[in-house]
Amino acid sequence: MNCEQVRDLLSAYLDGMLAGDERSLVASHLVDCQDCHSILIDYYRFDTLLTLMPRIKPTPSLSHNLFSSREYYELLRCLEQESFLNSHHL
């Protein structure tokens, strides 16, 4: 396998999503190729950074805006009407 072919498979290799043969070919290429190996290390590092990104809390007003919105009231009204019609088999 050349570097180009391996680079297309590095992401799936990292995720453990390659079948046995392909996995072995990539693994043996990585032993000898410093460039491809450093890309794999980068992928691992960036995955870790993304995983550890701090979560932002939504503002409390988001909940208020959603549950007091006109659209939400209309939705509840529609659901109540549907429920009424269903219960009376209309």
Q: Which residues bind another protein (CB under 8 A)?
A: 7-12, 14-15, 17, 39, 42-43, 46-47, 49-51, 53-59, 61-63, 65-67, 69, 71-72, 75-76, 79
Minimum distance from CB of 27 to another protein (Å)? Answer: 17
Report which residue type is found at 72: Y
Q: What is the dihedral of CA 27, 15, 55, 46, to 10 degrees?
A: 20
Place of tokens 């890309």: 39
Minimum distance from CB of 31 to another protein (Å)? Answer: 21
C-beta atoms surrounding 21 within 10 Å: 8
Minimum distance from CB of 32 to another protein (Å)? Answer: 21
